[in-house]
Structures are given as structure tokens and as C-alpha cells.
A = this chain, B = another copy of it.
Amino acid sequence: MSMNNFELYKVFYWAAKSGSLTKAAKTLFLTQPSVSHAIKQLEDSFGVALFSRNSKGVSLTPEGATLYSYIEQSHILIGLAEEKMAELKKLESGELRIGGSDSLFKHFLLPYLEAFHDEYPGIKLQLIHGTTPEIITFLKEGRIDLGVVRMPIVDPQLEVRESIQLQDCFVAGSRYAELKGELLSMEQLLEYPIILFSRNSRARKAVTDLFHNYGFNLKPGIEVGSVDLLIELARKGLGISFITREFVSRELEEGSLFEVKLDVKMPPAQVGIMTLRNIPLTRAASEFLGRIG
């Protein structure tokens, strides 16, 4: 397994392709003797003549032609590889795989995704939704480039950047219009039917813990599995929904929902963007990260 210097094959390729050592030299920004020498090295290493030299240039011997048939392919592949890498660098191709929750995609990431896709239409976007632990697993398995979840994240393998803050709150529809403008205590709130996100949500755990710290037990009248339902049920007056305020900004503005204020301050939730520590980011991923950072 000796293996010649691959650089020699580049010289051979151009010499064979152009039928002239002089031309090959020009293409490669070398001098003619360099090319001559390189070819000689190859010929010596194989113990076979590759070219016949004549006064107008060179032409391949049968053995040289055999070699060329392989090297040409090989050379083309390298050319394609270099093109591809340039594309990847210029974000003309590649993919960006992001893990997160559907609601974060919809209410937080969507405008960034649109802008990114407009600017780099060659990058394939892949959105993978799952719970926070699932997202972490996907990251570690290399199935996604970025994970977008609620803080806090504590995992030594992960590098987490804090992004925007989200503020959770309680909202209700016209059915509970009497609460508009009021400042409720936890106790007062608990007299109303509460709608919470289903059990394994981190936001739900956070609010349940908060109530628990104040000595109250927050148990929902209704549990739902999607943010859309959380909104819908509150509007229909089935209860008071606990939800991220930013996800209902439209409804709050148009007045179909209003915030039910508590006298206890709800701690804000950070959105964290996770990447694997010490694993280099894809060009696409690092560009995207720069935009949402």
C-alpha cells in the first residue's frame, strides 16, 4: 500500500487532458519542467511509460490511457466535492435541523425561519418536535443541529444560549369578563376552573410548583395537549387558561382574551437554544443561531 503523492495525479490529469505539458503547467500555475518532473515521477513509480512525447506535445500510451480513465473520474469527484463545499459555505445547500415544541416553532421561530428560508432557499429546513428530553436526545444522537426549549437546561454536554423571555400568565374570555382589570390572589383564582397543558409540560410543572410554594394545590379542571386548544377553550369560556402570553398576543390585542392578573409575580421563562458543547456547528446552524441570538 504505497500510494503516490496524489498531487502528481492532478498534474497527470491536466497533462493528459490537454495533451501538452506546457499547457498543463499554465493551468496549474507551474513551470513546464515541474510538470515534466511530476510526470516522470509517476512513470518511474509505475515503471511504465504514460505518455509518448512528440514535437507537438504529448499523447497517452495505452497504459497512460488506462490510468487516465481512473484518474479522470477521481478528479471529477474531487471537483464536485470542492463545489459542494463552496455551496455549503455560501449556504446555497445543506440543511438545518431544529428540534423544539410546536408552539415555539409557531410563535417564536416562525418569522426567523421564514426570513432564513427567503435568504437561503437552498437550505433544507427540518423541524422536529418533541418534549424537552426528547429534543436533548435528538441533539446527542446528532439528529438535529439545534434545540429550542424552555430554560432551565442543566446538562454538561449541552451549550445553552438564552434567547427571549416568555411570560406565562392566566387568560380568560368574555365569560369571565368580571375579572378584567382585577388583581386576584391565588386563592381567588383557584375558585375558577383552570385549564392547563398536559402533565409532562415544563411550563405546567413550573406553575404547579409556584402554587405549591405558596401552599396551594393547582389542579386543572381541564387538561389539553396543544396550545391552540388552550386558547380555544379559554375563548369559549370553559375556564381560565394558563399560557405563555406571547403565544396569545393577537387574542389579547383583539380583545377575545384578556389577562387575569395575579397578585403574585409569575417568574419569567427563558427560551434556551441548545447545541452540543464542543461539536462544531453546521454553517447553516451557526448562521441561523446568529440571527436569533
18 extra A-B contacts, CB within 8 A, seeds A48-B88, A77-B77: A4-B82, A6-B6, A6-B9, A46-B88, A48-B85, A49-B280, A61-B279, A61-B280, A62-B94, A62-B145, A62-B282, A63-B94, A66-B84, A66-B85, A70-B81, A70-B84, A71-B77, A74-B81
- When chains A and B are docked, how far (Å) is the Cα of A71 from the Cα of B79? 10
Across-interface contacts of A84 in B (CB, < 8 A): 66-67, 70
Interface size on A, residues (CB 8 A): 46
- Measured CA separation A3–B2 after assembly (Å): 24
A5 at the interface (CB under 8 A from B): yes
Which chain B residues border A278 with CB–CB below 8 Å? 52-54
Interface residue A161 (Cβ < 8 Å from any Cβ of B): no
Q: Which of B46, B52, B78, B86 contacts A6 (CB 8 A)?
A: B78
A89 beta carbon closer than 8 Å to chain B:
yes
- Interface membership of A40, Cβ < 8 A: no
A interface vs B, CB < 8 Å? 2-7, 9-10, 46-49, 51-54, 61-63, 66-67, 70-71, 73-75, 77-82, 84-86, 88-89, 94-95, 145, 278-283
A96 to chain B, nearest CB (A): 10
Given contacts A71-B78, A85-B46, A89-B48, whether A63 and B3 have CB atoms under 8 Å apart is: no
Query: Which residues of chain B come closer than 8 Å to A77, judged between CB atoms?
Result: 70-71, 73-74, 77
Contacts of A86 on B, CB cut-off 8 Å?
Answer: 46
| Contact of A61 with B6 in the complex, beta carbons under 8 Å | no
